Structure 1
Amino acid sequence: MGVHVVQSGETLWAISRMYRVSISEIMSDNGLPSTNSLTPGLALYIPRDQSPYRLYRIKSGDSLWKLAVLYNTTLEAITEANPALAQNSLSVGQIITIPTDVKVEMVTLGFIVPYSQQAAIEQVSRLAGQITYLAVAAYSLTAEGYAYVQLEDRELSSTSKRLGLNPLLMIRNQIGSEFSAELIGRVLENPDFRKNLVNSLIALSRERGYSGISIDFEFIPPARRSDFLAFLRELKEALGTLILHVNVHAKTEDIPNNPIIGAYDYQGIARIADIVAVMTIDYGYPGGPPDPVSPAWWIEQVVMYSLTQINPKKLQIAMPLYGYDKIVPDNTTIARSVMAAQNVALAHWRPIQYDERADSPFYQYRQNDQEHFVWFEDIRSYIAKYRLIDLYGLLGTTFWQLSLPAPQNWAYVRDRVNIIKS
């Protein structure tokens, strides 16, 4: 699988010899700060040491021969990987393992907040081959519905196009750095303000060379559910062939009166939007109890509900490039990139544990007489999420956000995913 979990007493030199991969390559792909930066439980991505496989759910009419041809493998390889499998008794819904070098294909979207436009351009340039769409989070709106620029983005938009990316103007209902339910509720309920918003978004996207718009309106008042759909219809009609990408909070059932998820009519949104991105992040949220940020069991529940409402070829799920370091018991929260979270464990020589149900790593450490509990992501948790995307045939994934270093994720995408460039 290309993953090595460090055991007590192991050295980077010995691991390098074991897999015949250079120390420098292991360090680079895993964001290690030094050659002695190891701790028990640390999961390392090992490039080129892979026995790649994909998960597949049996459909009506499938046979092992058809699957062997589809995945460019052999009957013998499939049966060897699935010892309990009987060729003549495949059952619909059964999940099997298929050894294959055929890569999963997906559409990816990376979010970027251009606090420094030059730094954002440098980061996007490094990751351009692994991204389909770039959503530039640089816009908000006034109380009368006029979209406006918060952060300069002209050069970023034009550069991303030269790099083969499709830039999307991303607008959020923020006042300062906080999402405002009152702001978006006021605009959505007023047809004139909605028109202002549509017209100003179209004008800005044309002026700045965007390929479409990504909507991230959070905490929409539930009473504005139908108004949100009306706005999306009006916006998509004005966009024409340009992309309408809509981000929605994750849910496992429809609760129309819920203040967080109630305004999102998944089915209605999916009829209008080109892509719907379900934000399968922050299950463990800032200020809340120590919980995994993006547990696999929860993501699968969200996906299963979402697929009752949204065509899988329109559906993206979200991957966090961050973790949360929580000081217990008051749960004061420090957000860290996944690389920084990993390296805090290394700096404190703390063993890393892994929750198999959540498919998420965690550890604890003590500093300044305070106890810290950290949930983050590593190569194992990312692989688990990519396999869910593959298993359910989803369009792909989004990444929040590209300025947060996550070298293991990008090394895996480089090696095991074919990015669809539209």
Structure 2
Amino acid sequence: MNDVFSMSYLSFGNTSKYIEQVDKTKGNLNMVAPNYFELKPQGTLKITSQCDPVFIRHMHERGITVVPFLSNHWDRGLGRAALAERTLLAGQCADFIAMNDLDGVNIDLENVTDADREAYTDFVRQLRERIPAPKEVSVAVAANPNGWTKGWHGSYDYAELAKYADYLLIMAYDESYTGGPEGPVAGYRWVERAIHYALMKGVPPEKIVLGIPFYGRYWKIGQAVGGIGISNKRVDELIGQYGGTVIFDDTAKSPRAVMTISGGSIPAPVAGKVLTPGTYHIWYENNDSIRAKLSLRRQYNLKGIGSWSLGQENPSLWQSYRFWIQ
């Protein structure tokens, strides 16, 4: 087990799949955040079908804490409904955690705005009041390397959230995004600036967890909209199947694959889509780019590392992960 805090989100699968994904990490995680908590339309707690006491027991036997994440799946109306019902919702979360041997909650409400900033902070404050230590209350916050104060980025009052949360997980990914120009998902300097912003806002380094992506994005030449998500593991498989070249961008410290699928090739399914013939540019993460980002944890003496999401990585990562994170 690492001395440094290391967690990952679990979002795609069921209990048996989740246990398999955790075991592939070779003891490198000390917390997992499964997708057990969602929201009903009125903003109250909804427990997903994935929630399973068998999984919780298996993780505890491995010395791994289980901290479900509460998601609104980017639905602003749902996020605002939750904040409007925050007193009730905080109580529901606390009660369910206590009754089901869970180890806390990770709040992942996204795409509310600066208008919701105070309510968001107050929700986290109420959770901390209702959930006794040492159980965890943590918040996933948007990376904000540009210091934006409006819109989605403005909903997170880093300094105030850090007063109540055990840590803030900086979602240091989606520098490039669906519909945008091609580029790295988490370029090194962009990630470092996101850390600088949190520190500048007064968040202690021991309350910062750096979130890294286990996925990339692809752009097809000539196609109007690109930046579709693809797991790192699937990128490696496609390069093996179709060939192509991988260039490591020294500035972004990120790999970029160029791959051509010919007309007669076997179809390439990716997350419910099929890649049609053509040339693709794929920015993703490999062991070299992840190792570079893990060095930032050491450089800034951060609490630890989080990742979105388990099962999307190339399993070879875990062979050296313990050494890199330390």
TM-score by length of 2: 0.89
Which of 222, 225, 229 is the equivalent residue of 1:335? 229
CA distance, structure 1, for counterparts of residue 25 and residue 288 of structure 2: 21
1:67-82 paired onto structure 2 within 5 Å = none
Which of 159, 173, 178 is the equivalent residue of 2:72? 173
CA contact (8 A) 1:236 1:244 kept: yes
SS of corresponding position for 2:154: coil
CA contact (8 A) 2:5 2:303 kept: yes
SS of corresponding position for 1:220: coil
The CA deviation at 1:401 is: 1.0
The CA deviation at 1:399 is: 1.1
- 1:31 match: none
The CA deviation at 1:184 is: 1.1
- 2:172 match: 280
Instruction: Note if 1:317 corresponds to 2:210.
Output: yes
1:21-420 paired onto structure 2 within 5 Å = 105-113=3-11, 115-127=13-25, 129-154=27-52, 155-174=54-73, 179-188=74-83, 190=84, 193-241=85-133, 242-257=135-150, 259-309=151-201, 310-328=203-221, 329-367=223-261, 368=263, 369-417=277-325
- 1:88 match: none
The CA deviation at 1:287 is: 2.6
Which letter does structure 2 place at the counterpart of 1:249?
A
CA distance, structure 1, for counterparts of residue 113 and residue 228 of structure 2: 28
CA distance, structure 2, for counterparts of residue 333 and residue 308 of structure 1: 31
CA distance, structure 1, for counterparts of residue 284 and residue 228 of structure 2: 12
CA distance, structure 2, for counterparts of residue 217 and residue 403 of structure 1: 23
The CA deviation at 1:182 is: 1.2
CA contact (8 A) 1:132 1:166 kept: yes
Query: Unaligned 5+ residue runs, structure 1?
Result: 1-103
- 1:40 match: none
Identity of aligned residues (%): 23
Which letter does structure 1 place at the counterpart of 2:27?
G
The CA deviation at 1:253 is: 4.4
The CA deviation at 1:416 is: 4.2
| Structure 2 CA distance for partners of 1:346 and 1:245, relative to 1, 3 Å | same
SS of corresponding position for 1:227: helix
- 1:42 match: none
Which letter does structure 1 place at the counterpart of 2:28?
Q
CA contact (8 A) 2:10 2:35 kept: yes
Structure with bigger gyration radius? 1
CA distance, structure 2, for counterparts of residue 252 and residue 325 of structure 1: 23
The CA deviation at 1:382 is: 1.2
SS of corresponding position for 1:246: strand
CA distance, structure 2, for counterparts of residue 211 and residue 300 of structure 1: 30
CA offsets 1:154-185 (integer angstroms, 9 cap, x no match): 222221111100100211013xxxx2111111
CA contact (8 A) 2:295 2:324 kept: no
CA RMSD between the two structures? 1.8
The alignment covers a number of residue pairs equal to: 307
The CA deviation at 1:353 is: 0.5
CA distance, structure 2, for counterparts of residue 139 and residue 118 of structure 1: 19
